[in-house]
Structure formats: structure tokens, C-alpha cells
Amino acid sequence: MPTRKKLVKKLRLTKTIIMTIFIILACLYFTILIVNKDFRSQIVHDKFFLTTFFITWICLLTGFVNILMDFILLKKNTEIARDLNDLAFLDKLTGLPNRYSIDRISQKYDTPSKLVGLGCVLLVIKNLKEINEKSGRSGGDKVISDFCAILESVGTQYGLIGRNSGNEFLVVIEGCDHNAVDAFISDLERRIHNHNTISPECAIELEYASILETEVNADHFYTLITNAYKRFEESPKILV
């Protein structure tokens, strides 16, 4: 990806230089045409000069238009590449960052010093299996989609969110302490309660566990995540 970006940058620079040259040549030619009366007279009365004049301007305009089109195509290709890149790192069902995105997030915290103050909340939809058995896969997908919409609206103001697997969701909070975790859980609980009141047939029950860097002295991002999973397996908390 960095190589591709460098190539696109070089292409844009090259096209910019060429376009600048075309503009300078056109300005010089136009200036000469205005200043030199004899030259204008020869163009008007001499077919050879007239033909040369038209060919020159056609070449300049064609070159300018071609370079302009190259810029447009480069922009479109960059947008397409960005969209494809986003799709590769977004979960198809929910639009949340997927496991690959979480792997990329982990690269941000590549030293113990960058892990200081980091917190992680692991969330699982407790009743997803029952919903799948009762309402089928489509019902389960709807509950996941509804929950992720709630999680995104609540979680993004606290930190980074992602879908780690089918029924596992992570929220990574910087500068985190127990108060920040409690505030996040409280906001999420309120939104889940509202959802369950409006849509009791698709009620969401959650289990969760949280971990702070200060509790495990993590030296790697996945040390924190692993401990969150361990805590979840040992003593998950219920959020209804």
C-alpha cells in the first residue's frame, strides 16, 4: 500500500509538471501572438503559418485535456481503492471495524508506553443463540445489526470499537479507568433498555467483561485483549 501511494504521488507530480509546461507554452505563444504584429499578419495571410497555428493550439489543448483527464482518473481510482480498503476492514453485516481492523489498531499500541491508561471492554450478546433458534439466522442478524448500531452510537465517543468475531465485540478506551468503563456501560445499558422496550421481540441481553492496563501491566495490545477474554470466561457481568 505505501508503494502504491508513492507511485500515485509521483504520477500526480509528473502530470502537474507537464500541465504547468503546457500552460507556460500556451501563455508564451499567446503573448508572442499579441506583441508581434508581423507574426499575426503572417498567420492571417500565409496558409502555412495558419495551419501551423491551428496544429500548435490543437496539440496544446489536446495535451491539456489529456492531462486533466488523467487527474480525474487518478482521483477516481484513489477513491475506489480507498472504498475497497474500507470494505476489507469493515464488517459486512454491521459496518463496524472487523478483526483485520483490530489487528491494525494493535499496531498503534506497539510499545508498553503506548499501552499506559488503555482499557478494553469485551461484549457478547448473551441470548443470540436463543434468538437464532427462535427467529432463524435473519432474526439473529437483525439483533446483531441493531446492537452494533447502538454500540457505534455510544462507543465511538469513548474509544475504538470493533467486531472481533461473530458474537464478540470490543471497545478500546484510551486514558481509561473504572469511572470511564462505568460511564460507558451506563450509557450502553440505557440505550439497550430503550431498544428492548420498543422492540421486546428482539430484546438484547449482554454479557461483558472489562480490563485495564493497570490491572495486568500489559506489554502488548493482545495481552490486554487476552486478559479481557479470561476475565469474561471466569466472571462475565450481565447487562440487560
Please enumerate, as own/partner, the contacts of 192-195 that have beta carbons within 8 Å and a separation of 24 or more. 192/147, 192/150, 192/239, 192/240, 193/240, 195/146, 195/150
**Does the pLDDT of residue 207 top 90, yes or no?**
yes
pLDDT tens by residue, 161-180: 888 877 889 899 999 999 99
What is residue 73's predicted lDDT score, i.e. its pLDDT? 73
What backbone phi and psi angles, to 5 degrees, belong to 158? Answer: -105, -35
pLDDT grade for 100, boundaries at 50, 70 and 90: low
**Does the pLDDT of residue 67 top 70, yes or no?**
yes
The enclosing H or E element of 37 equals helix 37-45
Average pLDDT over residues 2-10: 65
Q: Can you read off the three cell numbers belonging to residue 131?
A: 434468538
What is residue 78's predicted lDDT score, i.e. its pLDDT? 61
Q: How far apart are CA 210 and CA 232, in angstroms?
A: 8
**Does the pLDDT of residue 45 top 80, yes or no?**
no
Q: Please state the length of the chain.
A: 240
**Which CATH superfamily is 99-239 part of?**
Reverse transcriptase/Diguanylate cyclase domain (3.30.70.270)
pLDDT tens by residue, 225-240: 889 999 999 988 987 6
Closest CA to 237 of 193, 206, 212: 206
What is residue 97's predicted lDDT score, i.e. its pLDDT? 64
Average pLDDT over residues 174-190: 94
pTM of the entire predicted model: 0.61
